[in-house]
Amino acid sequence: MENENNTATVSLVKCQDYDDPNIGSAIDKTLELIGGIENYVRPGDNVLLKINLLTGDVPEKAVTTHPSIVRAMIHQVRKAGGIPLVGDCSGYEGKPNQKRYLDACRSSGIMHVCEEEKTQIVHLSAESVEVKNDSGRMYKTFILSKQVMDADVLISLPKLKTHGLTLFTGGVKNIFGCVTGLNKAKMHLRAQDPETFSQMLVDLLGTVRPDLTLMDAVVGMEGNGPSNGTPKQISAILASSDPVALDAVACRMVGIDPFMVPSTRLAHEQGMGTGDISNINIVGESLENMQIDGFKFPSGTASFFRARGLMRFVRGMLLAKPALVKENCQKCWICIEHCPSGALSEKEGYPSFDHKKCIRCYCCQELCPGNAIELKTPLLARFV
Ligand code: SF4
Ligand code: SF4
Q: By C-alpha distance, which of 28, 40, 43, 121 is closest to 82?
A: 43
Pocket-forming residues, ligand 1, beta carbon under 6 Å: 324, 329-335, 351, 368-370, 372-373
78: exposed, middle or buried (C-beta count within 10 Å: 0-12, 13-18, 19+)?
middle
Question: Is the Cβ–Cβ distance between 47 and 77 less than 8 Å?
Answer: yes
Q: Atom 2 in ligand 1: which residue has the minimum CA distance?
A: 368
Kind and range of the H or E run holding 215: strand 212-222
pTM: 0.87
How close is the Cα of 371 to the center of ligand 1, in Å? 8
Q: Cα 307–310–311 angle (5° rounding)?
A: 170
How close is the Cα of 339 to the center of ligand 2, in Å? 5
3-state secondary structure of 156: strand
Ligand nearest to the CA of 328: 1
Q: Quick check: CB of 360 below 6 Å from ligand 2?
A: yes
d(CA 224, CA 215): 19
Closest atom of ligand 2 relative to the 341 alpha carbon: 5
Task: Find how far residue 230's CA is from the centre of its chain.
Answer: 16
Q: Quick check: CB of 320 below 6 Å from ligand 2?
A: no
pLDDT tens over the chain, length 384 residues = 555 557 899 999 999 999 989 999 999 999 999 999 999 999 999 999 999 999 899 999 999 999 999 999 999 999 999 999 999 998 777 778 899 999 999 999 999 999 999 999 999 999 999 999 999 998 999 999 999 999 999 999 999 999 988 899 999 999 999 999 888 888 887 787 888 899 999 999 999 999 999 999 999 999 988 988 999 999 999 999 999 999 999 999 999 999 999 999 999 999 999 999 999 999 999 999 999 999 998 875 544 444 444 555 566 667 788 999 999 999 999 999 888 888 999 999 999 999 888 888 888 988 898 889 998 877 766 665
Pairing of strands 120-123, 83-88: parallel
How close is the Cα of 108 to the center of ligand 1, in Å? 19
d(CA 194, CA 167): 9
Give the chain's domains with CATH numbers. Answer: 8-282 (3.40.50.11440), 311-383 (3.30.70.20)
DSSP state of 20: T
